Amino acid sequence: MSTELQALDVAVEVDARGTACPGPLLDAKRAIGDCPVGGVMCVMSSDEGTIIDIQRWSKKMKHEYVGDYEDDGYWRVFMKKNG
Q: What is the closest distance, in whole angstroms, from the C-beta atom of residue 57 to other proteins in the complex?
A: 6
Asked if residues 26 and 14 have their Cβ atoms less than 8 Å apart, the reply is no
Q: What is the closest distance, in whole angstroms, from the C-beta atom of residue 15 to other proteins in the complex?
A: 13
Catalytic residue among 20, 21, 37, 52: 21
Asked if residues 55 and 25 have their Cβ atoms less than 8 Å apart, the reply is no
Nearer to other proteins, 21 or 37 (CB): 21
Q: Which residues bind other proteins (CB under 8 A)?
A: 18-23, 25-26, 28-29, 57, 60-61
d(CA 28, CA 54): 8
Asked if residues 44 and 38 have their Cβ atoms less than 8 Å apart, the reply is no
Stated as kind and residue range, the H or E segment containing 52 is helix 49-60
Q: What is the closest distance, in whole angstroms, from the C-beta atom of residue 27 to other proteins in the complex?
A: 10
Nearer to other proteins, 53 or 68 (CB): 53
- Whether 35 is catalytic is no
Q: Hey, which residues are catalytic here?
A: 21
